[in-house]
Amino acid sequence: MKITFMGAGSTVFARNVLGDCMCTPALQDAEVALYDIDATRLKESERIVSAINKNTNGSRAEICCYLGQENRRAALQGADFVVNAIQVGGYEPCTVTDFEIPKKYGLRQTIGDTLGIGGIMRALRTIPVLEDFARDMENVCPDALFLNYTNPMAILSGYMQRYTGVKTVGLCHSVQTCSETLLTELGMTDKLEGRRECIAGINHMAWLLTITDKDGFDLYPEIRKRAAEKNAAGTHNDMVRFDYIRNFGYYCTESSEHNAEYNPFYIKSRYPQLIEKFNIPLDEYPTRCVKQIADWAAERDGLTQNGKTARVRSKEYASYIMEAIVTDTPYKIGGNVVNCGCIENLPAEACVEVPCLVDGNGITPCRLGRLPVQLAAMNMTNINVQLLTIEAARTKKREHIYHAAMLDPHTAAELSIDDIRSLCDELIAAHGSYMASYD
């Protein structure tokens, strides 16, 4: 069995996913191919993954490194699973550009990797790279499963699923941590064990539709009461999602700093007091990137000194999916798949996040029926942007980039159409060769 990790220079994430594989008996003999275009980061990843392999009982993985586009096909050759964690353009210059130019227009962001103008630009510079991956995979590992972890999740996974022949599932860690986070924040940890739940929607805005305790008792009435009380008591780090509960009736998967920019409600230049009221961390992603770079430098130096690293299997889905397929043992995930009727009141071509069964047959999405109409409507405001961004990537038409930005809830709430077009033009020019194909 062969596992190929694309973007292995994402060292912390490569450590987590591949470390999980090395903790899993069914995967411990795998050939592991690390691929990246950055020689330094690739070498760092090889060192830490090799240390995990050496110090994990039973792990006998064969680790090989592949540097640069000229070696990409060799990295993919014969792969059974391909994990994608690339970031095209990196923190500098592209992420910084995606934040700084919009600021000139009065448009502020928190994360900028999933929706909004930042998410649109990130998708448009990433999809051409994924197209190249897909062409190679269709030739050298046509039966491999592509596990996409790169954001914007719904746009990238949706593109791969609709316009390539590669079997693709999008994966995020927000589903498996959603209800635990909520119950912990509300002081309801006694309800964690044995709870049952159903989550569906779109990535980063999938809804906790139902949640019951081990005896089947509905927990939502108490959740709604405590969430309202906590928001009324003062600022905390999850105020936006608790406000979702108040206004839409349900909690959603991804964090409040993410969801603050997926709608027109909270980041508004006309109402700057909302930023403080809802404790919204503007420019959070650039700040986080700087910290992660510093943290990794410290961890890398520690590893260099002792050559060892401990590993406990995490909650990331990748290793569990591989294990379920290889051993034909059923496992349930929250996966990002083409809708095709899974959620009846969302478009068939949308990429939705729904419960999926994984076994020796691969990944089988579940049909959920209809979402509550207000939740489907919230999802649609994001799906509009996702589908138009995919259309821009497919047709290479700049006009569709304008359309995606015009229909983005936060961007449209802040800027005029003329400013939106100018902003898009300036970002396209600033990204240079990454965006050269868009006329």
Q: What's the pLDDT at 404? A: 98
CB-based burial, 167-187: b 16+ in 10 Å, e otherwise: bbbbbbbbbbebbeebbebbe
Q: What is the dihedral of CA 103, 109, 110, 116, to 10 degrees?
A: -150
Q: What's the pLDDT at 300? A: 65
Per-residue pLDDT of the chain (439 residues; tens, 9 = 90+): 999 999 999 888 999 999 999 999 999 999 999 999 999 999 999 999 999 999 999 999 999 999 999 999 999 999 999 999 999 999 889 999 999 999 999 999 999 999 999 999 999 999 999 999 999 999 999 999 999 999 999 999 999 999 999 999 999 999 999 999 999 999 999 999 999 999 999 999 999 999 999 999 999 999 999 999 999 999 999 999 999 999 999 999 999 999 999 999 999 999 999 999 999 999 999 988 887 777 767 766 665 455 556 678 999 999 999 999 999 999 999 999 999 999 999 999 999 999 999 999 999 999 999 999 999 999 999 999 999 999 999 999 999 999 999 999 999 999 999 999 999 999 999 999 999 888 7
204 is in an annotated binding site: yes
Q: What's the pLDDT at 306? A: 54
430's CB contacts (< 8 A; 6+ apart) are 97, 101
Task: Please say whether the beta carbons of 331 and 321 come within 8 A.
Answer: yes
361 is in an annotated binding site: no
Task: Please say whether the beta carbons of 24 and 318 come within 8 A.
Answer: no
172 is in an annotated binding site: yes
Which of 173, 236, 400, 410 is flagged as catalytic?
173
Other CB atoms within 10 Å distance of the CB of residue 200: 25
Q: What's the pLDDT at 12? A: 85
Q: Where are the beta strands (DSSP E) in 178-313?
A: 196-202, 205-212
Distance CA 144, CA 33 (A): 14
Q: Is 236 a catalytic residue?
A: no
Q: What's the pLDDT at 11? A: 85
Eight-class DSSP state of 93: I
| Bridge partners, residue 212, by sequence | 196, 218
Q: What's the pLDDT at 289? A: 84
pTM of the model: 0.96
CB-based burial, 312-346: b 16+ in 10 Å, e otherwise: eebebbbbbbbbbbbeeeeeebbbbbbbeebbeeb
Q: What's the pLDDT at 439? A: 76
